[in-house]
């Protein structure tokens, strides 16, 4: 079983290491009496504490909140640990794109604070066709200077955090001189001209076995030399209608499948993701584990309400496999508070849909452009807001990855078994101007996620968002034997986001009796967990 844990400052445990299936936390605060590992469903595991070190064994798969508690139950420090069957499963993804010695400490610090388990290291190569540089100082294909020694140090630091260092690696990008030497490997447009990405690169046929062999050889050498243990296979959303050198039409989808199989066979232990740009190819089989499904979001999927459909099209009915959306909100030229609101709401919405985002990383950065070097740097007060929302997402994420999503057939109609009421509109999809509610059921648990989007008029990751005006909702849930159930809620901005028992009471329902409670919304996101006494 793979266990990944990141450590850092900001009131979190200063040191934790993984030994086999155990998590060892060192440097416990003075006064620590016990250490607990707590799942999103409230299940707890007690660690063995010896001096300033704690060891907890046998944690079930999931994201766990690790708490160092005083004798009177006060939380002295905390952290998150992700326990998965395979390294890279259900990842917490970040990015890194600064490769100079002066920036490395800040980059590693931010990635630790985000608790990333996979980091995409972007545009690190000297050439697309021959990525490993032969000199310590070189420039990338866009002439950005890079220090090879600093790049190695960054990769070492990422992996020392228990995190996968995933090399950004375009699937069919070739430099022009290399493409000119191998014209039979090129894809061509329907007018015979070579397929290309502007003047930057030429596009090779991913199904061409000679190109595959060359690519796997040169990227494999680079990964081994630099210490990467993962690959992000990038695509561009096209070509859609391409031919090979003989003029025969090429199935791009089949070419991608062939390429991914070849990479997986050659690199069986690397954590691999493949970019289904806007969900293309539809229903593409993700790389075999260790690996996860990944899709970059573009218009016309420009509204939050489009993201659920994009996730479904990408998977094509297959089970989720660490589904991750890369989102680049282009909002930072306006008022920063409204821009930040869009960014944190985007992560919250994707979390509530049962997936993850790639948006945060590098030197306290947030993505706003597909060329990751051109990201926005967060200010000190914005960092605090991002961490509050992001850690709330980590605390609650497993609640939306388990059970059955019943939002579309039992929420807020005349036969509803779940209602979320306030003075405005409640929607089972993330609509601007509404409260977005999501329901997931298990036999012993009903989870209701509530996000205030009333201030996000456009309901879009491409537009700025205002704070909402909903401060409380009434949540009513039909359950069997409601007297045996209770309600707990995690409220962003209250009780450090921890679950606490809510006062609930039975109310009449057309099918008998239901359980109802008032749920505060402080900063815009609350999650209610209805559970039986046995849960």
pLDDT in tens, 153-199: 999 999 998 899 999 999 999 999 999 999 999 999 988 888 888 87
Considering the domain architecture, whether residues 102 and 55 belong to the same structural domain is answered as no
Q: Total domain count for the chain?
A: 3
The reply to whether the predicted model has a pTM over 0.75 is yes
Last residue of a domain, one of 309, 326, 343: 326
Is residue 179 situated within a structural domain?
A: no
For residues 140 and 164, state if they share a domain.
Answer: yes
pLDDT of residue 8 exceeding 80: no
DSSP state of 197: E
The predicted model gives 231-258 an average pLDDT of 91
CA distances from 492 to 322, 381, 420 (A): 24, 17, 18
pLDDT at 12: 64
Task: Assess whether 112 and 75 both reside in one domain.
Answer: no
**Span 359-366, mean pLDDT?**
98
- CATH number of the domain where residue 121 is located: 3.20.20.80
488 and 500 in contact (C-beta within 8 Å)? yes
- The model's pLDDT over 45-77, given as tens digits with 9 standing for 90+, comes to 999 998 888 898 888 889 989 899 999 989 898
Give yes or no: residues 314 and 167 share one domain: yes
Q: Are residues 411 and 266 in the same domain?
A: no
Residues 74 and 103 in one domain: no
* % of the chain surpassing 90 pLDDT: 80
Q: Which residues of 419-452 are buried (b: 16+ CB within 10 A; e: fewer)?
A: bbebeeebbbbbbbebbbbbbbbeeebbbbbbbb
pLDDT of residue 330: 97
Please state, rounded to an integer, the average pLDDT across all residues of the chain.
92
* Residue 165 and residue 30 in one domain: no
Using the predicted structure, report yes or no on whether residue 535 has a pLDDT greater than 80: no
pLDDT average, residue stretch 464-469 = 96
Q: Does residue 341 lie within any of the structural domains? A: no
Task: Provide the CATH number for the domain around residue 49.
Answer: 2.60.40
In a domain, 9, yes or no: yes
> Which of these, 432, 422, 442, 344, lies nearest to 384 by C-alpha position?
344
Give CA–CA dist 219/262, Å, rounded: 13
Residue 302 counted as domain residue: yes
Check residue 16 and give its pLDDT.
56
pLDDT at position 197: 87
Task: Render pLDDT for 488-508 as a digit per residue (tens, 0 to 9).
Answer: 999 999 998 999 999 999 999
**Is the pLDDT confidence value at 394 over 60?**
yes
Asked whether the predicted pLDDT for residue 460 surpasses 90, the reply is: yes
Query: Pick the residue with more confidence: 177 or 23?
Result: 177
Arithmetic mean of pLDDT, 19-43: 85
Is residue 28, in this structure, part of any structural domain at all?
A: yes
Are 167 and 294 within one domain?
A: yes
Helix ranges restricted to H, 161-278:
176-181, 209-226, 252-266
* Inter-axis angle of helices 252-266 and 209-226, nearest 10: 40
**Residue 433: which CATH number?**
2.60.40.1180
Stretch 129-150: mean pLDDT, rounded? Answer: 95
Structural contact between residues 449 and 438, judged by C-beta atoms closer than 8 angstroms: yes
Q: Among 270, 300, 326, where does a domain finish?
A: 326
Asked whether residue 382 is domain-assigned, the answer is no
pLDDT above 50: residue 3: no
What would the pLDDT profile of 124-136 be if each residue is shown by its tens digit?
999 999 999 999 9
Q: Are residues 447 and 426 in the same domain?
A: yes
The residue segments making up the domain with residue 44 are: 2-84
Average pLDDT for residues 250-261, to the nearest whole number?
94
What local confidence, expressed as pLDDT, does residue 240 receive?
Answer: 85
Q: What pLDDT sits at residue 87?
A: 83
Is the same domain home to 430 and 501? Answer: yes
Asked if pLDDT for residue 13 goes beyond 70, the answer is no
| Residue at 288 is within a domain | yes
Look at residue 2 in the predicted model and tell me its pLDDT.
Answer: 44
Mean pLDDT (whole number) for 333-339: 95
- pLDDT for residue 15: 58
**Of the candidates 296, 326, 356, which is a domain's last residue?**
326
Between CA 211 and CA 237 the distance in angstroms is 20
Q: Say yes or no to pLDDT of 9 above 50.
A: no
Q: Are residues 13 and 131 in the same domain?
A: no
pLDDT at 365 over 90: yes
Distance CA 30, CA 19 (A): 24
pLDDT digit string, tens, across residues 220-236:
999 999 999 999 999 98
pLDDT single digits (tens) 264-275? 999 999 999 999
Q: Is residue 259 part of a domain?
A: yes
Question: Does 228 lie in the same domain as 166?
Answer: yes
């Amino acid at each position: 079983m793979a266990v990944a844990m990141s450590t850092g400052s900001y009131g979190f445990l200063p040191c934790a290491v993984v030994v086999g299936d155990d998590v060892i936390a060192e440097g416990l605060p003075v006064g620590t009496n016990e250490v607990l590992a707590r799942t999103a469903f409230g299940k707890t595991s007690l660690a063995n504490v010896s001096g300033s070190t704690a060891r907890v064994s046998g944690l079930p798969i999931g994201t766990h909140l690790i708490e160092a508690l005083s004798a009177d139950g006060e939380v002295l420090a905390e952290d998150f640990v992700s326990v998965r069957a395979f390294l890279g499963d259900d990842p917490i993804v970040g990015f890194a794109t600064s490769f100079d010695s002066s920036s490395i400490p800040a980059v590693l610090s931010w990635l630790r604070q985000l608790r990333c388990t996979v980091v995409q290291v972007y545009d690190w190569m000297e050439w697309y066709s021959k990525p490993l540089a032969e000199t310590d100082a070189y420039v990338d294909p866009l002439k950005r200077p890079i220090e090879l020694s600093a790049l190695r140090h960054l990769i070492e630091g990422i992996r020392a955090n228990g995190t996968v260092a995933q090399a950004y690696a375009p699937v069919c990008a070739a430099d022009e001189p290399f493409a000119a030497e191998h014209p039979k490997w090129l894809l061509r447009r329907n007018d015979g001209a070579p397929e290309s990405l502007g003047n930057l690169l030429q596009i090779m046929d991913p199904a061409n076995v000679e190109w595959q062999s060359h690519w796997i050889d040169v990227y494999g050498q680079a990964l081994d030399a630099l210490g990467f243990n993962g690959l992000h296979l990038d695509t561009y959303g096209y070509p859609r209608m391409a031919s090979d050198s003989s003029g025969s039409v090429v199935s791009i989808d089949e070419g991608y499948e062939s390429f991914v199989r070849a990479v997986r066979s050659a690199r069986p232990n690397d954590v691999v993701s493949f970019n289904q740009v806007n969900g293309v190819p539809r229903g593409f089989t993700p790389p075999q584990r260790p690996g996860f499904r990944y899709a970059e979001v573009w218009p016309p999927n420009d509204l939050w309400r489009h993201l659920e459909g994009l996730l479904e099209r990408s998977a094509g009915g297959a089970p989720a496999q660490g589904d991750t959306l890369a989102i680049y909100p282009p909002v930072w030229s306006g008022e920063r508070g409204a821009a930040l609101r869009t960014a944190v709401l985007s992560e919250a919405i994707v979390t509530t849909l049962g997936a993850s985002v790639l948006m945060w990383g590098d030197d306290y950065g947030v993505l706003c452009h597909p060329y990751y070097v051109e990201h926005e740097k967060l200010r000190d007060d914005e960092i605090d807001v991002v961490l509050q929302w992001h850690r709330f997402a980590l605390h609650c994420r497993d609640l939306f990855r388990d059970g059955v999503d019943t939002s579309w057939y039992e929420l807020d109609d005349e036969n509803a078994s779940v209602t979320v009421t306030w003075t405005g509109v409640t929607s089972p999809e993330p609509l601007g101007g509404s409260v977005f509610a999501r329901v997931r059921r298990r036999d012993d648990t009903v989870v209701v996620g509530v996000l205030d989007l009333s201030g996000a008029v456009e309901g879009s990751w491409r537009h700025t968002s205002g704070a909402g005006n909903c401060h409380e909702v009434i949540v009513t849930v039909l359950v069997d034997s409601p007297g045996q159930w209770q309600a707990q809620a995690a409220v962003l901005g209250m009780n450090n986001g921890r679950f606490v028992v809510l006062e609930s009471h039975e109310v009449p329902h057309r099918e008998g009796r239901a359980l109802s409670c008032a749920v505060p919304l402080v900063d815009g996101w609350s999650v209610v967990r209805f559970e039986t006494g046995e849960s």
